[in-house]
């Protein structure tokens, strides 16, 4: 969403990292619009987390996963419906069982086409990866939580409720202490607020804070963020602290009836001073807009 032309959002099978036995991450190498992708194995099945953006990236991911699975059954899930996470699912049809939470399936059906249009406007490199995208329909949909048995390993899929999107989902691997958060957590950058009124206002800063408190309660050993470097539980605390500060600084100014543009400028300065090394400064303004709308009148 930045002003400059984004680099080619291409998934590369490089620096693949084993986080635990039979559990690897294809890291995003800090490339924008490339997600961290997980491949989690059990004795009879393998779960892929995220597709990458568009059919060509998804073919890369499927190729890696099929080789990794070596004959084991494939499942696919995505953390939420945004294009770089889910807009390659069509490639897995007939090869993997596509399983997501109901709210995410509804997001995909209701807003997938509009996001496809919006992302095509982000520049030629992004549009190229989106060529040929068809919005996929999940094979299996669950409501709140789903325990997926991969054989000797049960992976827990959990719908968190509305936060970064309406249909966010986290995937935890309890025997390995690993949690995939999708865009509920980013490492080394400001939280992504897809606040695009009037088209999409589903992101909720206040609910996001509650979700982060609950996720911290699960005490994961390893946290795989949507984008950025894999880390420990501190990543969860960092996001919660940032969101709480963003809320407090925004609401304090809202209480004193400061205009929204002034709030944006002042809060932005505070946040950059707090996290000068973080990327994605354009998301601060979106976060302020969201939290202004959530200010208790
Ligand atoms: Zn997202």
Torsion of CA 50, 241, 193, 109, to 10 degrees: 40
Examine residue 250 and state whether it is found in any structural domain, yes or no.
Answer: no
> Which residues is 12 bridged to in the sheet?
none
Examine residue 35 and state whether it is found in any structural domain, yes or no.
Answer: yes
**Percent of the residues in the chain that have a pLDDT greater than 90, as a whole number:** 95
Spatial separation of the C-alpha atoms in residues 143 and 11, rounded to whole Å: 30
- Judge whether residue 6 has pLDDT over 80: no
Q: How remote is the C-alpha of 161 from its chain's centroid?
A: 14
User: What token pair was written down for 229?
Assistant: 């470097």
Helix 205-217 and helix 282-293, axial crossing angle in degrees, nearest 10: 100
- Residue 13 is predicted with a pLDDT of 98
- Residue 2 is predicted with a pLDDT of 46
- Judge whether residue 44 has pLDDT over 50: yes
Predicted TM-score (pTM) of the model is 0.96
Distance 183 CA to ligand 1 centre (A): 5
Angle among Cα 87, 80, 124 to the nearest 5 degrees reads 35
Q: What is the CA radius of gyration of the chain?
A: 18
Examine residue 127 and state whether it is found in any structural domain, yes or no.
Answer: yes
Examine residue 268 and state whether it is found in any structural domain, yes or no.
Answer: no
* Listed residues: CB within 5 A of ion ligand 1: 82, 183
Distance 82 CA to ligand 1 centre (A): 5
Tens digits of residue pLDDT in 228-237: 999 999 999 9
Distance 44 CA to ligand 1 centre (A): 31
Distance 71 CA to ligand 1 centre (A): 31
Residue 4 banded pLDDT, cuts 50, 70, 90: low
Distance 256 CA to ligand 1 centre (A): 32
Distance 192 CA to ligand 1 centre (A): 7
Spatial separation of the C-alpha atoms in residues 133 and 33, rounded to whole Å: 16
Check which CATH number belongs to the domain holding 80 and give it.
Answer: 3.60.15.10
Examine residue 267 and state whether it is found in any structural domain, yes or no.
Answer: no
Number of structural domains found in the chain: 1
Distance 196 CA to ligand 1 centre (A): 13
- Residue 258 is predicted with a pLDDT of 87
Distance 112 CA to ligand 1 centre (A): 12
Distance 250 CA to ligand 1 centre (A): 22
Q: What residue numbers bound the domain in which 51 lies?
A: 17-190+204-234
Examine residue 177 and state whether it is found in any structural domain, yes or no.
Answer: yes
Examine residue 94 and state whether it is found in any structural domain, yes or no.
Answer: yes
Examine residue 133 and state whether it is found in any structural domain, yes or no.
Answer: yes
- Residue 5 is predicted with a pLDDT of 62
Tens digits of residue pLDDT in 177-224: 999 999 999 999 999 999 999 989 999 999 999 999 999 999 999 999
Cβ-Cβ contacts under 8 Å for 163 (sequence gap 6 or more):
184, 203, 204, 207, 208, 210, 211
Distance 137 CA to ligand 1 centre (A): 19
- Judge whether residue 3 has pLDDT over 80: no
**Percent of the residues in the chain that have a pLDDT greater than 70, as a whole number:** 98
Least confident stretch, 5-14, 35-44, 168-177, 284-293: 5-14
Distance 206 CA to ligand 1 centre (A): 17
Distance 180 CA to ligand 1 centre (A): 13
């Amino acid at each position: 969403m930045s002003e400059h032309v984004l680099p080619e959002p291409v998934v590369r099978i490089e620096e693949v990292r084993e986080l635990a036995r039979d559990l690897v991450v294809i890291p995003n190498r800090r490339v924008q619009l490339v997600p961290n992708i997980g491949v989690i194995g059990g004795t009879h099945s393998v779960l892929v987390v995220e597709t990458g953006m568009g059919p060509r990236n998804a073919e890369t991911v499927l190729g890696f996963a099929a080789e990794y699975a070596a004959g084991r059954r494939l499942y696919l899930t995505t953390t939420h419906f945004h294009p770089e996470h889910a807009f390659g699912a069509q490639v897995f049809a007939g090869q993997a069982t596509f399983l997501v939470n109901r709210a995410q399936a509804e997001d995909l059906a209701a807003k997938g086409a509009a996001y496809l249009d919006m992302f095509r406007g982000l520049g030629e490199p992004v549009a190229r990866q989106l060529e040929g995208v068809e919005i996929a329909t999940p094979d299996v949909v669950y409501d709140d939580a789903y325990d997926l048995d991969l054989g000797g390993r049960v992976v827990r899929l959990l719908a968190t409720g509305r936060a970064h999107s309406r249909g966010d989902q986290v995937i935890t691997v309890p025997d390995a202490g690993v949690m995939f958060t999708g865009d509920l957590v980013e490492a080394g950058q400001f939280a992504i607020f897809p606040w695009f009124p009037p088209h999409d206002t589903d992101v909720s800063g206040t609910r996001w804070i509650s979700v982060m408190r609950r996720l911290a309660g699960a005490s994961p050993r390893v946290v795989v963020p949507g984008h950025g470097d894999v880390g420990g539980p501190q990543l969860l605390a960092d996001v919660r602290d940032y969101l709480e500060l963003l809320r407090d600084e925004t609401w304090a100014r809202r209480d004193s009836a400061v205009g929204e543009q002034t709030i944006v400028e002042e809060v932005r300065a505070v946040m950059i001073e707090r996290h000068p090394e973080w990327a994605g400064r354009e998301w601060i303004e979106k976060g302020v807009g969201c939290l202004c709308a959530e200010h208790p009148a």
